[in-house]
Every structure is written in structure tokens, then in C-alpha cells.
Amino acid sequence: NAGVTQTPKFQVLKTGQSMTLQCAQDMNHNSMYWYRQDPGMGLRLIYYSASEGTTDKGEVPNGYNVSRLNKREFSLRLESAAPSQTSVYFCASSEGMGFYEQYFGPGTRLTVT
């Protein structure tokens, strides 16, 4: 039981390049999330998917797109990376929204030069 997995673990991009961060969970959870973590800022929600087939914007969605590929997988795409997107990205999943515990992946450390 791997929980939440993320690929890649590390990535360096040049400004303007694109990439997709992959996330998968094996807990049969309905809800999935993408966060970014920056020093002194805590975690900020980028996008979430309350259930398969739905996605919604979070606090900081600009510059990102998401796809809920199926119940297991939720990807995050940067179409044209900018230095301001240098961050650590976490995927999480939960049985549902609200009071359910969120389970986090190990993170992807992204640097945009």
C-alpha cells in the first residue's frame, strides 16, 4: 500500500518550459488536492478535485492546470514555467472534503531558472 505517490521528486526547468507533475493514490479516495509550499507561507491550495470528474480552483491557481485522469490520478501542469513557480509541490488525497484526514505525498521540489 504505497499511499500517495508523486513523480518526479526533483525537477529543474528553464523559464517558459512546460511540465506535468504526476500524482496517484491507492486508497480509493474521492478527493485529491495540489498544494504548493513556500518558506514562511505554509501550504497554499492550487487546485482540488472533490470527486472524479470535477476540478476547482483553490487559492493560487494562476499559471497551472489540472486533470483528474481517473479516480486514482490527478496531474498538475505548468504550461509556461516562471521563476515565481519555484516551490515544493504536494499532492494529497482524502476520502471526502471537510473533516476527512488528508494524506500527503512526499513532494516534488521544482526550480525554475
Partner 1 sequence: AQSVTQLGSHVSVSEGALVLLRCNYSSSVPPYLFWYVQYPNQGLQLLLKYTTGATLVKGINGFEAEFKKSETSFHLTKPSAHMSDAAEYFCAVSAYGGSQGNLIFGKGTKLSVKP
Residues that bind partner 1 (CB under 8 A): 4, 33, 40-45, 48, 50, 56, 58, 90, 92, 97-99, 101-102, 104-107
Take residue 88 and report the three cell numbers written for it.
Answer: 515544493
* Nearest distance from C-beta of residue 79 to partner 1, angstroms: 24
> Measured between alpha carbons, how far is residue 58 from residues 14, 52, 62, 91 in Å?
25, 17, 10, 13
* Nearest distance from C-beta of residue 94 to partner 1, angstroms: 9
Strands in 50-107 per DSSP E: 56-57, 64-68, 74-78, 87-94, 103-104
68: left (phi over 0), alpha (psi -120 to 50) or beta: beta
- Phi, psi torsion values for 67, nearest 5 degrees: -140, 125
Residue (5 or 67) nearer to partner 1, CB: 5
* Nearest distance from C-beta of residue 16 to partner 1, angstroms: 28
Residue (17 or 51) nearer to partner 1, CB: 51
* Nearest distance from C-beta of residue 67 to partner 1, angstroms: 19
Residue (5 or 17) nearer to partner 1, CB: 5
